[in-house]
Each structure stands twice: as C-alpha cells, then as structure tokens.
Amino acid sequence: MTRLIDGKAMAANLRAGAAQAVSALDFKPGLAVVLVGEDPASSVYVRNKGKATIEAGLNSFEHKLSEDISEGELLSLIDKLNKDDSVDGILVQLPLPAHIDAERILNAIDPDKDVDGFHPTNVGRLWSGIAALAPCTPTGCMRMIHGVLPKISGKEAVIVGRSNIVGKPMAAMLLAQSATVSIAHSQTTDLKERCQTADILIAAVGRPEMIRGDWIKPGAVVIDVGINRVIQDDGKNRLVGDVAFGEAAERARAITPVPGGVGPMTIACLIENAVRAACMRRSRPIPEM
Ligand code: NDP
C-alpha cells in the first residue's frame, strides 16, 4: 500500500526537537528574515517562518523593505546583520525584484550566518561532504526519504529541476548517500523514460502536475517539491505539486502531498539551521534535534 509522507507531522516533530534544544541553551539564537516588496506568496512564507522561529524559542527579526529599495541599501542592511552579534542566521526571501542582483546579495551574507546554505562557501562545503549549513528544502526532502527508505545506497535517483536552491543541492545530498543520481531539466529529451527508472523521484520544476502516473516506477519514493497555484473550474485557487498526485499514488511506495509535504519540512529545517549556526558561531556543541 502506498504510504503518504506526512511532512506536516514530521515537521512538527522536528520543530519540537529544536525547541527543546533551544530551551537547554543559556542564550537565545536569533534569526533575521529580510523581505523585499509585497509578493503575496513570499509574504506568507516570511510570516510562517517568523511564527515558527518564535514558537521554537528563538528571536525573530523581520526586515520588511519597500520594493524600490536600492541594491546598495540592501547590501548595507546585510552588512549590519553580519556584524550584529544577536543575529545568528540571515535569510533573504527570494525572489528579489529584478533591479537587484540576487547573487550579489546572497554572496554578501556571512557564510557562518547563511541559514539557507546558498553562499558559494557553503555550496562548496556541501559538494565536498563537509556541509555545516545545507539548503533547507533538500535537507527536508532527505529526512522524508530516510523515513521511508532506510538504505539509499545503490538506488537510482532522478531529480527533475536543476536550480541552485533545490535540484543541485538535492543531487549533492543523494550522491553523498551513494545513490546513482541523474538531474533532468527543460532540455532533457527523454524525461518520461528517465523518470520511469527512478527508485527515488524528486520533482522540483514548478509546472502543475507535469509528472504523470505512468512516469512513476512501481514502488518508487516520490518527493514533490513543486508548489503551484491553479484556478479550478469553480474559480477557486488550489495548490498542486509537480506530480499528478492521485495517479502517482497508485504506483509509488511512498509519496509526499502538496500542500503538507515538503513545504513544512523546509521551515523546520530552517529553524534547525538557525540553532546550528548559533552554536557553531559560539563554538558550542551542536545539540541533537
Ligand atoms: P526554478 O524555476 O529555479 O527551476 C525549475 C527547474 O525546472 C529548472 O531547472 C528547469 O530547467 C526545470 N524545468 C522547467 N520546465 C521543465 C520541463 N518541461 N521539463 C523538465 N524540466 C523543466 O524553480 P525552483 O527550483 O526554485 O522551484 C521548483 C518548484 O519548487 C517551484 O514550484 C517552487 O515553488 C517549489 N519550491 C518549493 C519549496 C518548498 O519549500 N516546498 C522551496 C523551493 C521551491 P532549466 O534549468 O533547463 O530551465
């Protein structure tokens, strides 16, 4: 029978573990989240991150900036947060407005406070197998895979999507666990056939229900990272993933739902990273979470 991977419940456990770890510390870690503009989806993500941060017992510092802030002003804020000892983690919510060079902003964050794991130093550490702060979404995906598949070694993993924030770090993590990894993208010519070989299939595309049931190898573990808002016949909005859930669930061994799968795990892993960064900066042992 297909197992539903309940990201919401798993994330609640992780956040409770992080809260317990924080309560045993003799200081309060602080996480700064920077939001530029008023993109509705980004605003919701930032609100949820702030809420989870406070619930876990950390200080939450929210910086909401106007859409037309200059790149220089944003860099000054990052510099201030880098130097602020009460700030252990810095997250800049993406996407940024077009007039701001996102790469320049992310590269300006102190790698020791880079709780998103996007700084080139942390990317290099991840691929070298010495990750300290690894990207939250793929970390959450790995936790979910481990929950249903104790041995990843030797499995065929196919990742659809090659972004810096999901696809590529996901590949590094699966490779580190000795999976045989393929990364597909928009120029892949035999996508369906490749997906059909996957014991572990990760969909991180941003195209509603693109991956159909007959693309799934029977018994595969399917992790759907996609979050797509579609308008139903009744005019209401609905969130769907990149995988046609109903069809895929008929063949998969285990599958994540959307919503309630990868999304909540991303936030829980962010809280863990903030605690990790706080302890590392102070040369304290990293607590079990
Ligand atoms: P990007 O747009 O950065 O990357 C999308 C990737 O999909 C690209 O590599 C692109 O290929 C590939 N792609 C696009 N069309 C096709 C196609 N027809 N066939 C095969 N590959 C294709 O997206 P992100 O990685 O940032 O996000 C992916 C999805 O995950 C989105 O829905 C996003 O909202 C969601 N997301 C969810 C998170 C969560 O916490 N649950 C966190 C982050 C993202 P190419 O490189 O060739 O253009």
Give nearest CA residue, ligand 1 atom 4: 163
- Whether 185 lines ligand 1, by a CB cut-off of 6 Å, is yes
- Write out the two tokens for 288: 């079990």
- Whether 267 lines ligand 1, by a CB cut-off of 6 Å, is no
- Whether 162 lines ligand 1, by a CB cut-off of 6 Å, is yes
- Whether 260 lines ligand 1, by a CB cut-off of 6 Å, is no
Give nearest CA residue, ligand 1 atom 41: 263
- Whether 243 lines ligand 1, by a CB cut-off of 6 Å, is no
DSSP states of 41-95 as a string? Answer: HHHHHHHHHHHHHHHTT-EEEEEEE-TT--HHHHHHHHHHHHH-TT--EEEEPSP
Q: 27 CA distance to ligand 1 centroid (A)?
A: 38
Strand partners, 59: 30
Q: 140 CA distance to ligand 1 centroid (A)?
A: 16
In tens, the pLDDT along 184-223 reads 999 999 999 999 999 999 999 999 999 999 999 999 999 9
Whole-prediction pTM: 0.97
- Write out the two tokens for 101: 């060079």
Confidence of residue 25 (pLDDT cuts 50, 70, 90): very high
The rounded distance, in Å, linking the Cα atoms of 236 and 200 is 33
Note whether 8 and 265 are within 8 A (CB): no
pLDDT recorded at residue 213: 98
pLDDT recorded at residue 131: 76
The rounded distance, in Å, linking the Cα atoms of 219 and 198 is 10
Among 38-42, 68-72, 91-95, 194-198, the minimum mean pLDDT is found in 38-42
Q: What is the DSSP letter of 128?
A: H
Task: List residues with catalytic annotation.
Answer: 49, 93, 116
In tens, the pLDDT along 158-177 reads 999 999 999 999 999 999 99
Q: 32 CA distance to ligand 1 centroid (A)?
A: 26
In tens, the pLDDT along 101-131 reads 999 999 999 999 999 999 999 999 999 999 7
Note whether 194 and 182 are within 8 A (CB): yes
Confidence of residue 33 (pLDDT cuts 50, 70, 90): very high
Residue 1 pLDDT exceeds 90: no
Residue 132 pLDDT exceeds 90: no
The rounded distance, in Å, linking the Cα atoms of 128 and 271 is 24
Closest C-alpha among 122, 89, 118, 115 to residue 105: 118
